[in-house]
Amino acid sequence: MSSIHFFEKGQGQPVILIHGFCEISEMWREFAEALSSNFRVICPDLPGCGKSPLTLTHASLEEVAVVLEDWIEEENIQDPIVIGHSLGGYVTLALLELMGSKLKAIGLFHSTAFADDEEKKGMRDRTVIFLKKHRVDTFVTSFVPPLIPEHKRDDFQAEIAVAIAQAKQSTLEGLIAYTKAMRDRKDRFEVLRNFTGSKLMIAGTLDGAVKIDASRKHKLAVSEYHELDGVGHLGMIEQKNECIEILRGFCGNFTKG
């Protein structure tokens, strides 16, 4: 039996929403509620996050994809649309490479198909050092707020507090493992480009984690590209309603069966 913890709402075309780094499935609660009138929305905790234990040796993206494939089959989730935020997008691409046409469509939400450059890899290494020294609570308290542009943080104090509280449910081992997995992930741009199903990308012009210039290089590789003006890395918070409607429209192109 799979060790993946998840919640689901609704019936119909399955839509899997995968959370990002320092996040848990609960981040998608309002999205699941909003979309459940039309779709079966399924939100898992990745291994080592939230209530899903870390059962993997290294938690490479490839290993995580295998665990998710087994879980998808076990839960009889057929022809899902898979949408991932940030790290969840990297996992989505690894799952796409593994499952191919078994996925109906995919979406990258503040994510990228490109591998880390050397500068970003160095930042990941420093993150591992910081985590080992200062542990989870100190790390997430400093990590989460900058995901929203500084001039907007006062407007989202409550949402940031919730995001920090959810991030604190991460395990130290999980955060370290995923930091290394992101650092070591391979470029999957060709995997994205060659997928014949529908592909969504949502980007933020002020995203400090996934630069807008990199996001724009995906335009010709995806079916649907949305740019959120003045938004950082957390569009699901900064422009929640707009993002829900983007997902509703994209997923609405498909019906079960």
Task: Give the pLDDT confidence of 198-215 residue by residue, as tens digits.
Answer: 999 999 999 999 999 999
Mapped onto helix, strand or coil, the DSSP state of residue 9 is: strand
Contacts of 168 (CB under 8 A, 6+ apart): 136, 137, 140
Q: Which helix (H) or strand (E) covers residue 14, if one does? A: strand 14-18
For the chain, the structural domain boundaries read: 6-251
Please, which pLDDT band fits residue 255 given cuts at 50, 70 and 90? low
Mapped onto helix, strand or coil, the DSSP state of residue 28 is: helix
Can you give the pLDDT at residue 56? 75
DSSP classification of residue 150:
G
Rg, the chain, Cα only: 17
Mapped onto helix, strand or coil, the DSSP state of residue 92 is: helix
Task: Give the pLDDT confidence of 156-184 residue by residue, as tens digits.
Answer: 999 999 999 999 999 999 999 999 999 99
Can you give the pLDDT at residue 140? 97
Q: How many CB atoms lie within 10 A of CB 150?
A: 11
Task: Give the pLDDT confidence of 63-114 residue by residue, as tens digits.
Answer: 999 999 999 999 999 999 999 999 999 999 999 999 999 999 999 999 999 9
Class of CATH domain 6-251: alpha beta
Tell me the residue type at 115: A
* Residue 257: pLDDT over 60: no
List, as one string, the DSSP characters of 169-235: TS-HHHHHHHHHHHHHPPP-HHHHHH--SEEEEEEETT-SSS-HHHHHTTGGGSSEEEEETT--S-H
In which order are the strands placed within the sheet that holds 14-18? 6-9, 40-44, 14-18, 81-85, 105-109, 198-204, 224-228
At 144, phi and psi to the nearest 5? -70, -50
pTM score over 0.95: yes
Task: Say what percent of the chain tops pLDDT 70.
Answer: 98
Task: Give the pLDDT confidence of 16-72 residue by residue, as tens digits.
Answer: 999 999 999 999 999 999 999 999 999 999 999 999 998 876 779 999 999 999 999
